[in-house]
Amino acid sequence: MAYALQQLINGLTLGMIYGLIAVGYTMVYGIVGMINFAHGDIFMIGAFLSLIALTGLAAIGITSVPLALAITLLFAAAIAALYGWTVERIAYRPLRGSFRLAPLISAIGMSILLQNFAQVSQGARVKPMAPLIEGHISLFPDADFTTQISAMQIAIVITTLLVLGVFTWLVTRTPLGRAMRACEQDLKMAGLLGIDTDQTISLTFVIGAALAAVAGLMFLLYYGAIDFYIGFIAGVKAFTAAVLGGIGSLPGAVLGGLTIGLIETFWSAYFTVEYKDVAAFSILVVVLIFMPSGLLGRADVEKV
Amino acid sequence: MSAVSAGAAALRDAFLSALVALGLFGAMIGLKTEVGPTSLVLVPRPWAVAIAVAVVFAGRLALLTWRAWRPAGTPSPRRLVTAGARAGRFVAPLLLVFAITLPAYAGRYWIDLGILVLTYVMLGWGLTIVVGLAGLLDLGYVAFYAVGAYSYALLAQNFGLGFWTCLPLAGLLAACWGLILGFPVLRLRGDYLAIVTLAFGEIIRIVLLNWVSLTNGPQGISGIPRPTLFGLTFTMDGGPGSVADFFGVEPDISQRVIFLYYVIFGLALLTNWVSLRLRRLPLGRAWEALREDEVACRALGINVTTTKLTAFAIGACFGGFAGAFFATRQAFISPESFTFMESATVLAIVVLGGLGSQLGVALAALVMIGGTELFREFAEYRMLIFGAALVVMMILRPRGLVSGRTPSVSLGSSRQISADLISQGRG
CA distance to partner chain B, nearest, from residue A44 (Å): 12
The answer to whether B355 contacts chain A (CB < 8 Å) is yes
Task: Count Cβ atoms below 10 Å from residue B169 Cβ, excluding itself.
Answer: 16
**Closest partner CB to B33 (pick from A82, A112, A127):** A127
Q: Are B20 and A86 inside 8 Å of each other by CB? A: yes
- Whether B1 is in a domain gets the answer no
Show which of residues 131-160 on chain B sit within 8 Å of chain A, judged by CB atoms.
131, 137
Q: Are B347 and A106 inside 8 Å of each other by CB? A: no
Output the CA–CA distances (angstroms, integers) from residue A6 to A13, A104, A144, A200, A260, in the order listed. 11, 39, 13, 41, 16
Interface test with A, best of B192, B293, B295, B401 (most A CBs within 10 A): B192
- Separation between Cα atoms, residue A36 and residue A242, nearest integer Å: 12
Q: Are B31 and A49 inside 8 Å of each other by CB? A: no
Residue type, B266: G
pLDDT surpassing 60 at residue A247: yes
pLDDT tens for A98-126 read 777 888 889 989 999 999 999 988 888 88
The answer to whether B62 contacts chain A (CB < 8 Å) is no
pLDDT surpassing 80 at residue B169: yes
- Whether B104 is in a domain gets the answer yes
Q: Are A101 and B389 inside 8 Å of each other by CB? A: no
Q: Are B380 and A119 inside 8 Å of each other by CB? A: yes
Q: Are A282 and B203 inside 8 Å of each other by CB? A: yes
Looking at per-residue confidence, does B398 or A260 come out higher?
A260
Q: Are B33 and A55 inside 8 Å of each other by CB? A: yes
Provide, as residue numbers in chain A, all residues whose Cβ is less than 8 Å from the Cβ of B28: 45, 48-49, 52, 117-118, 121-122
Specify which residues A225 forms β-bridges with: A128
pLDDT surpassing 90 at residue B125: yes
The answer to whether B74 contacts chain A (CB < 8 Å) is no
pLDDT at B103: 82
CB pairs under 8 A between A and B: 195
Say if residue B303 is in the same domain as residue B387: yes
DSSP collapsed to 3 states, B21-61: HHHHHHHHCCEEEEECCCCEEEEECHHHHHHHHHHHHHHHH
Residue type, B391: V
Sequence-distant (≥ 6) Cβ neighbours of residue A15 within 8 angstroms: A257, A258, A259, A260, A261, A262
Average pLDDT score over chain A: 87
Q: Stretch B104-110: mean pLDDT, rounded? A: 83
- Whether B74 is in a domain gets the answer no
Say if residue B51 is in the same domain as residue B200: no
Provide, as residue numbers in chain A, all residues whose Cβ is less than 8 Å from the Cβ of B137: 101, 104
CB B401 within 8 A of CB B364: yes
- Whether B71 is in a domain gets the answer no
The answer to whether B191 contacts chain A (CB < 8 Å) is yes
CB B254 within 8 A of CB B104: no
Listed as own residue / partner, the contacts of B217-223 with beta carbons closer than 8 Å and 24 or more positions apart are B217/B335, B218/B334, B218/B335, B218/B336, B219/B334, B220/B332, B220/B333, B220/B334, B220/B335, B220/B336, B221/B150, B221/B153, B221/B154, B221/B157, B221/B327, B221/B332, B221/B333, B221/B334, B222/B331, B222/B332, B223/B157, B223/B331, B223/B332
Average pLDDT score over chain B: 83
Range of B40's domain?
A: 8-66
CA distance to partner chain B, nearest, from residue A277 (Å): 8
Q: Are B390 and A109 inside 8 Å of each other by CB? A: yes
CB B67 within 8 A of CB B10: no
Element (H, E) at A127: strand A127-128
pLDDT tens for B315-331 read 999 999 999 999 999 88
Element (H, E) at A81: helix A65-87
- DSSP for B284-315 reads HHHHHHHHH-HHHHHHTT--HHHHHHHHHHHH
**Closest partner CB to B398 (pick from A75, A102, A118):** A102
Tell how strand A225-226 and strand A147-150 pair up: unpaired
pLDDT tens for B346-375 read 998 988 888 778 888 998 898 888 888 877
Coil vs helix vs strand at A147: strand
Say if residue B247 is in the same domain as residue B135: yes
The answer to whether B388 contacts chain A (CB < 8 Å) is yes
Crossing angle for the helix pair A230-245 and A101-122, to the nearest 10 degrees:
150
**Shortest CA distance from A232: residue in chain B:** B340
**Closest partner CB to B348 (pick from A56, A91, A105):** A105
Say if residue B32 is in the same domain as residue B99: no
Q: Stretch B385-395: mean pLDDT, rounded? A: 86
Q: For chain A, how big is the Rg over CA atoms in Å? A: 19
pLDDT band at residue B427 under the 50/70/90 scheme: very low
Sequence-distant (≥ 6) Cβ neighbours of residue A146 within 8 angstroms: A2, A138, A139, A140
pLDDT surpassing 60 at residue B75: no
Q: What is the number of domains present in chain B?
A: 2
Say if residue B218 is in the same domain as residue B277: yes
Lowest mean pLDDT among A62-66, A256-260, B114-118: A62-66
Q: For chain B, how big is the Rg over CA atoms in Å? A: 25
Q: Are B391 and A100 inside 8 Å of each other by CB? A: no
Q: Are A129 and B386 inside 8 Å of each other by CB? A: no
Q: What is the pTM of this model?
A: 0.87
**Shortest CA distance from A57: residue in chain B:** B42
Q: Are B40 and A236 inside 8 Å of each other by CB? A: no
- Whether B302 is in a domain gets the answer yes
CB B129 within 8 A of CB B307: no
Say if residue B160 is in the same domain as residue B26: no
Q: Are A112 and B395 inside 8 Å of each other by CB? A: no
Q: Which of B355, B358, B350, B362 is nearest to B277 (CA)?
A: B358
pLDDT at B354: 80
Residue type, A70: A
Backbone phi, then psi, for B227, in 5-degree steps?
Answer: -75, 160
CB A41 within 8 A of CB A115: yes
Say if residue B308 is in the same domain as residue B409: yes
Q: Are B387 and A111 inside 8 Å of each other by CB? A: yes
pLDDT at B390: 85
- Whether B72 is in a domain gets the answer no
| For chain A, domain boundaries | 2-290
User: Cα dihedral sign for A238, A243, A246, A249?
Assistant: positive
Among B66, B97, B116, where does a domain finish?
B66
Judge: domain A2-290, CATH 1.10.3470: yes
- Separation between Cα atoms, residue A268 and residue A255, nearest integer Å: 20
CB A283 within 8 A of CB A259: yes
- DSSP for B340-399 reads HHHHHHHHHHHHHHTSS-HHHHHHHHIIIIIHHHHTGGGHHHHHHHHHHHHHHHHHH-TT
pLDDT surpassing 80 at residue A7: yes
CB B339 within 8 A of CB B205: yes
Looking at per-residue confidence, does B1 or B48 come out higher?
B48
- Separation between Cα atoms, residue B126 and residue B120, nearest integer Å: 10
- Separation between Cα atoms, residue B386 and residue B90, nearest integer Å: 28
